[in-house]
Amino acid sequence: MKAPPLRLGVNIDHVATVRNARGGPHPDPIRAAHLAVLAGADGITAHLREDRRHIRDQDMERLKRQLFVPLNFEMAATSEMIALATALRPHASCLVPEKREERTTEGGLDIIGGHAHLRPAIQELKAAGIRVSLFVEPETEVMDAARDLGAPVVELHTGTYCEAVAAGDQAHVEHELERLRRAAAHGGGIGLEIHAGHGLALDSVRPVAAIPQIVELNIGHFLIGEAIFLGLDEAVRAMRSAMDEGRAQTE
């Protein structure tokens, strides 16, 4: 099977984290989005959290107005966010669980245990012409549940895999990669579009990029961190090359 092209979505949340540390307009996350696109990003992701700790409403409006690439509006499935997304009409909305105390999105949506509120949210977003993706754990039953909910896309949570890479635990790395491969193959087989993300870095991205059903990776924290050392342009280009190297390994 020849793998389809693999898109890179750059998440710019943490440019806003640095901006907000001082209360002024610098550094501007929208300027970072433009630079990322020039460096090869296929899309931009921004997570408007309930507490607005990084991205703010005005950032989403500016991104929507200024970008010529797809905007992925990451959000919790709350009535406030659904109203904002349906008014803004981004290309896509990625629904994530959100806990106020967490540092980042810690796990995938629990769509097997508690999906009652998600069905109408997905319908409402789809009716507004927005492509809905669900951020989920890489399990085959979760793929079935996402399809049953009417979501066209899932984003597989790669956080546990990336933690295993960072810990240098090879057996755990293999186990987690196998979960990702199995979930991607099953999800692709039942007609879902498969994305992946969370925690990906240069030393972890290649095996994920090699999974042929995955067509988009969303990457933020590592790239914004590397931008301190390399500049954002070079950081995005290095990630793009690593993704291409990984993709070339696809059987």
Residues labelled catalytic: 47, 74, 198
Residue among 247, 163, 182 at smallest CA distance from 212: 247
Query: Is 54 labelled as part of a ligand binding site?
Result: yes
Q: Give the shortest CB-95-to-ligand PXP separation in angstroms.
A: 9
Q: Which helix (H) or strand (E) holds 99?
A: none
Q: Give the shortest CB-68-to-ligand PXP separation in angstroms.
A: 22
Q: Where does this chain bind ligand PXP (CB under 6 A)?
A: 11, 13, 47, 74, 94, 96, 104-105, 135, 155, 197-200, 218-222
User: Which pair of tokens denotes residue 66?
Assistant: 């200024």
- What's the residue count for the chain? 251
| Distance separating alpha carbons of residues 216 and 209, to the nearest angstrom | 9
The set of long-range contacts for 160-167, using a CB threshold of 8 Å and a minimum separation of 24, is 161/199, 161/204, 161/208, 162/198, 162/199, 162/200, 162/201, 162/204, 163/199, 165/201, 165/203, 165/204, 166/204
Burial class from Cβ neighbours inside 10 Å (0-12, 13-18, 19+) for residue 5 reads: exposed
Query: Is 11 labelled as part of a ligand binding site?
Result: yes
| Distance separating alpha carbons of residues 120 and 77, to the nearest angstrom | 10
Of residues 2 and 93, the one with the C-beta less far from ligand PXP = 93
Of residues 1 and 76, the one with the C-beta less far from ligand PXP = 76
Q: Give the shortest CB-11-to-ligand PXP separation in angstroms.
A: 5
Query: Is 148 labelled as part of a ligand binding site?
Result: no
Of residues 134 and 173, the one with the C-beta less far from ligand PXP = 134
Q: Give the shortest CB-134-to-ligand PXP separation in angstroms.
A: 9
Query: Is 218 labelled as part of a ligand binding site?
Result: no
Of residues 155 and 226, the one with the C-beta less far from ligand PXP = 155
Query: Is 22 labelled as part of a ligand binding site?
Result: yes
Q: Residue 194: beta bridge partners? A: 154, 214
The binding site comprises 11, 13-14, 22, 49, 54, 104, 199, 220-221
The binding site for 1-deoxy-D-xylulose 5-phosphate comprises 13-14, 49, 54, 104
The binding site for 3-amino-2-oxopropyl phosphate comprises 11, 22, 199, 220-221
